[in-house]
Amino acid sequence: MPVDAQRESAFLFDLDGTLIDSVYQHVIAWREALEQVGVSLAVWKLHRRIGMSGGLFVTALQRELEVELDAETLARVPGLHAEAYARHADGVRALPGARELLDRLSEQGIPWAIATSGSERTAGRARGLLGLPEDVTMITRDLVRYAKPDPDLFLTAAARIGIDIRDSIVVGDSVWDLLAARRAGALGIGLLSGGYGREELIYAGAFRVYEDPRDLMEHLDEVGVRRPV
Amino acid sequence: MPVDAQRESAFLFDLDGTLIDSVYQHVIAWREALEQVGVSLAVWKLHRRIGMSGGLFVTALQRELEVELDAETLARVPGLHAEAYARHADGVRALPGARELLDRLSEQGIPWAIATSGSERTAGRARGLLGLPEDVTMITRDLVRYAKPDPDLFLTAAARIGIDIRDSIVVGDSVWDLLAARRAGALGIGLLSGGYGREELIYAGAFRVYEDPRDLMEHLDEVGVRRPV
């Protein structure tokens, strides 16, 4: 007698670099925000921190800096970043295949949600880019105590759509998504569309890596999604 | 009797992402230039093409695009990129340790040169950022028939400073630098400061990978540079 292995599964998506092509604009915006408080940090190091919680981002920056920043200056940085990002956001597009992938999952009745370390303020624009219906579950940084690489965002998203996190597949472009996925007990899929290298994602625990949402959509059968009969 | 293994060696440096922190500004500038001719391509794919010859860059783009661009439109793109880059170039800085590394090599009498797929027009600004003396050898795209990943830039640089390419160490942040190094018969050192992942550089043939010019400077003994007695 076969075991009942085919429990309902779900997809939990990161947003920046996973569904929308916004990572490089975020990187440049962090660069500009830090310049405004007199901090010069190499851009690739900012890139590798995108997607983690703002608090941990700032902690990580502190470690890189040779001078110590006072708390008041540090507190200004996230606001300056949001302003700088708003200046660059016009150039942000949906990633290839993002809308089609979400539509496909919906058509097949597979639950999905979005979980992002970004705030509602910056993430809200993505609703338009992706043509999301109003009732889509999107868990933003404002809604949890700890953002990635803590698992709270993905745990909250899974709970909101009524799926066991252990039956969920997390899709993200950054090491922080994949670490959060492992801590949550979910499988993690890495996408190259945020600009990390393939092996960085594998070493962070991705059980599969694709180029972008379109590439994932074309290989859904590899991750357990059957074509409708 | 020991062999005379210690022949004079030299360092051949890439510029963008290796000595100056300009890769992300170049990426955004390509994005803007392509938008102006109606082409939308995911930003990470542009990132992974930075540092290769403009002609091959455009050929590679063609392969990614679903529509074919006419030759006239394609020919406009490099000029649009240069204009867009000029708008972002104010934010470009020398990478940590770049000036100190070049000074250290000069002090120890180790020959070095710069070889970049960029044009003199965009590369010229780097002279100021790095405080380069007027007589530094800098081979730009204008001076050779084929840019990276062809070996011409590095071969020309080595010849100009009178060093056998097989005694040269190429330092670059991109896969294209390392492929060109191997084709030229030089050893290649990868730097993470252009935003590639460590393994991408190793798989492209880097015999050693460091974070940035400072990290390389602190480990020069690993690549055959002895402290002066």
Per-residue pLDDT band for A60 (boundaries 50, 70, 90) equals: confident
Whole-angstrom distance, CA of residue A7 vs CA of residue A209: 23
| pLDDT tier for residue B59 given thresholds of 50, 70 and 90 | confident
B67-112 pLDDT per residue, tens: 778 888 888 888 899 999 999 898 899 999 999 999 999 999 999 9
- Paired strand residues for A187: A169
H or E element in which residue B10 lies: strand B10-13
Sheet order of strands, A168-172 included: A138-139, A112-115, A10-13, A168-172, A187-191, A208-210
B177 is catalytic: no
How high is the pLDDT of residue A4?
A: 56
Mean pLDDT of the residues in chain B:
91
Q: According to the model, what pLDDT value does residue B116 have?
A: 94
Task: For residue range B147-171, list pLDDT tens digits in order.
Answer: 999 999 999 999 999 999 999 999 9
Q: Which residues of B touch A91 (CB under 8 A)?
A: 28, 31-32, 35
- Determine phi and psi for B74, rounding to 5 degrees: -55, -40
Return the H-helix or E-strand segment holding A208: strand A208-210
| Interchain CB contact of A99 with B (< 8 Å) | no
Interface contact A16, partner B, CB < 8 A: no
Beta-carbon contacts of A121 under 8 Å, excluding residues fewer than 6 positions away, are A82
Q: Is A44 close to B194, i.e. CB distance below 8 A? A: yes
pLDDT of residue B28: 93
Q: Taking 90 as the threshold, does the pLDDT of residue A219 lie above it?
A: yes
